[in-house]
Amino acid sequence: MVVTGAASGIGKAIAVMAGAQGANVVVADMNDEGGQATVSEIVGAGGKAEFHKVNLTDRDSINAFAASVLASVGAVDILINGAGWDLMERFLDSKPETWDTVIAINYTGPVHLCHHFAPGMVEKGKGKIVSIASDAGRIGSPSEAVYSGAKGGIISFTKTLARELARYGVNVNCVSPGPTRTALYYAQSESVQQNLAKVIPMRRVGEPEEVAMAVLFFASGESDYITGQTLSVSGGMAMVN
């Protein structure tokens, strides 16, 4: 199993929980120290994991990462596109350089990874691809215009890829978190954090582990007849038909 963004937040929760369930986890991130810490936690609990560095804003880094993983563990059964990043600001105050980074990490990076790892799944006749979208990509979110667009793109990309790969036994799905206790959440002011909880029917934000459980459901055999779907994990914030 490859998990990007596994040095912290939701990605780390996925990697640690997957390791505890017996998965051989490739911990992928651009943060060496955080990535190695995740590996240590998994291995310390009796699991199997190794760290591979990747920068999703750099195509050469992605290519080198994919080659390294394929050489180390062979064809990948499960790809979790867990990395994500945003800079919250009004769209009219934002800059193209920020757009490029947001789009690369949240959209084009995962697209490149799918292009690298899906062929091995097709050849084996089985595989799971799960991407972390966002309810921002389903209903919009103030101060996250480009991020919302990138996450909406991942949702649409997932649907089309699911249609193309279903005949080969490869399932492609999304998990769409609402506000969750990650670095992005804590980067906001305390008043914004409190207001976020107020707009959620359950009156609290999510925990990374709650999102991870939904991801691992899509990565498991329990979801073999589910593909092209987006599951919101947001305390009822987004109720989309």
- Tell me how far apart the alpha carbons of residues 93 and 103 are, in angstroms, rounded to a whole number: 17
Q: Kindly list the distances between the CA atom of residue 235 and the CA atoms of 88, 108, 188, in Å, as whole numbers in the listed order.
A: 22, 28, 20
Determine contact, residues 104/110, Cβ cutoff 8 Å.
Answer: no
Those residues whose C-beta lies under 8 Å from the C-beta of residue 225, and which sit 6 or more positions away, are none
The active-site residue, picked from 107, 147, 168, 185, is 147
Burial 144-164 (b: 16+ CB within 10 A, else e): bbbbbbbbbbbbebbbebbee
Q: Kindly list the distances between the CA atom of residue 224 and the CA atoms of 75, 162, 171, 220, 233, in Å, as whole numbers in the listed order.
A: 19, 12, 7, 8, 20
Give me the sheet containing 230-233, strands edge to edge.
48-53, 24-29, 2-4, 78-81, 127-132, 170-177, 230-233
Q: Collapsing DSSP states into helix, strand and coil, what is residue 84?
A: coil
**Is residue 147 flagged as an active site residue?**
yes
Tokens linked to 129: 């691809």
- Tell me how far apart the alpha carbons of residues 65 and 225 are, in angstroms, rounded to a whole number: 31
Would you please indicate which residues are annotated as catalytic (active-site) residues? 147
